[in-house]
Amino acid sequence: MKRRNFIKKASATGLGLVTVSSTFISCDETSEKKEAIVSTAKSIKPLVIATWETTLAVDTAAAVLEKGGSALEAVEQGCRIEEANEKGQSVGKGGLPDRDGDVTLDACIMNEKGDYGAVLGVKNIMHVISVARKVMEDTPHVMLVGDGAEKFAVSKGFEPENLLTAASKKAWEAWKVTAEYKPIINIENHDTIGMLAIDKKGNISGACTTSGLAYKMAGRVGDSPIIGGGLFVDNEIGGASATGLGEEVLKTVGSFLIVELMRQGKSPQEACEMAIGRIVNKPGKDFKNFQVGYIAVNKQGETGAYSIHEWFSYNVYKNKENKHIQSDFFNKA
């Protein structure tokens, strides 16, 4: 992913709106009301938003939606593209390893019903986003970690494989020569993909997958697989996802915060900006040395994104167009 190869900044909110009924079907509503909602649903246009320059992943998700597939299926298929992209060194195969040389992956997924599945610290399985979906759909749990998650994945037919590519091994070996023995707090090592989608029925789902902080301590887990941290979806309100230094996202429960701010009437853009404010305005916070970026969408199909520093971008698929957009950012000094 070429993060600095941005197209010109465009308005994320000016690309056209998804038409979504603000009325929700409850179990005691009449069939007339349901019919009215179904006819409104015909005009809903699919939407995808994802962190970074993830054009192919977003196109893949959009193709699922245009064919009438669910938002859940779209975000899973989109994230799988980046997990299989060996050139992206912070997601899936080819991810940079922990300081012991092990690639460990984190992922989570959330559907329109508010169900959630996650896997943490998984070795040897490339498509952890699909394993997270299996956790959500095939177990009574929401999270599986480490060996247990890998064992579960294998039981579901996932093939174990070596995730450490020659390029990532070389980078790790070079890091070992000079590195202080601590994780590197550097955005160049972050490319987590967070993805949110709205399908033709107006349902929202989201997914997030990463290899986490490069050269992290063995066992370290960031925000990406944690509900409310790296991802949160409420189908009546919208969704949010995060990239960047997971510790800072977790300390402010960033994605949950954004959805709750939208519930209180903030736009996705305002909510993302307030969530970044929650981090940078902490007394003595040395935000110049780390990056966090957020994306968000609301039920009306409005999108927003904001980051601490300028080196964050995202892709939006809307009205059959996939645009790569540089995020607005806080640290303009």
What is the total count of residues that contact ligand GLY (CB under 6 A)? Answer: 12
Pull the structure tokens for residue 283. Answer: 């007394």
- Residue of 94, 222, 301, 304 interacting with ligand GLY (CB under 6 A): 222
The SS3 call for residue 209 is strand
What is the C-alpha to C-alpha distance for residues 5 and 86, in angstroms, rounded to an integer? 19
Q: Is 212 in the site for ligand GLY (CB under 6 A)?
A: yes
Crossing angle (nearest 10°) for helices 268-280 and 254-263 = 140
Query: Could you say which DSSP state residue 115 is in?
Result: -
Find the shortest distance in angstroms from Cβ 251 to ligand GLY.
12
Find the shortest distance in angstroms from Cβ 184 to ligand GLY.
12
Q: Show the site string, 292-331: x = touches ligand GLY by CB under 6 A, - = not.
A: ----------------------------------------
**What is the chain's length?**
333
- Residue of 120, 187, 245, 259 interacting with ligand GLY (CB under 6 A): 245
Q: Is 243 in the site for ligand GLY (CB under 6 A)?
A: yes
Binding segment toward ligand GLY, per CB under 6 A, in 64-72, 81-89, 168-176, 242-250: 242-250
The answer to whether 183 and 213 have CB atoms below 8 angstroms apart is: yes
Nearer Cβ to ligand GLY (202/212): 212
Q: How would you list the strands of the sheet with 116-122, edge to edge?
A: 143-145, 116-122, 105-110, 204-210, 193-198, 47-51, 313-318, 321-326
Strands (E), 52-115: 105-110
Catalytic residue among 51, 60, 192, 243: 192
Instruction: State the residue for tokens 């990463």.
Output: 210
Binding segment toward ligand GLY, per CB under 6 A, in 13-21, 108-116, 222-230, 253-261: 222-230
Find the shortest distance in angstroms from Cβ 75 to ligand GLY.
17
What is the C-alpha to C-alpha distance for residues 179 and 172, in angstroms, rounded to an integer? 10
- With a CB cutoff of 8 Å and minimum separation 6, the contacts of 5 are 53
Q: Is 60 a catalytic residue?
A: no
Q: Is 246 in the site for ligand GLY (CB under 6 A)?
A: yes
Binding segment toward ligand GLY, per CB under 6 A, in 78-86, 140-148, 205-213, 233-241: 205-213
Binders of ligand GLY among residues 184 to 203 (CB under 6 A) are 190, 192
What is the C-alpha to C-alpha distance for residues 247 and 220, in angstroms, rounded to an integer? 10
Catalytic residues, by residue number, are 192
Q: Using CB under 6 A as the criterion, which residues of the chain lie in contact with ligand GLY when the complex forms?
A: 190, 192, 210, 212-213, 222-224, 243-246
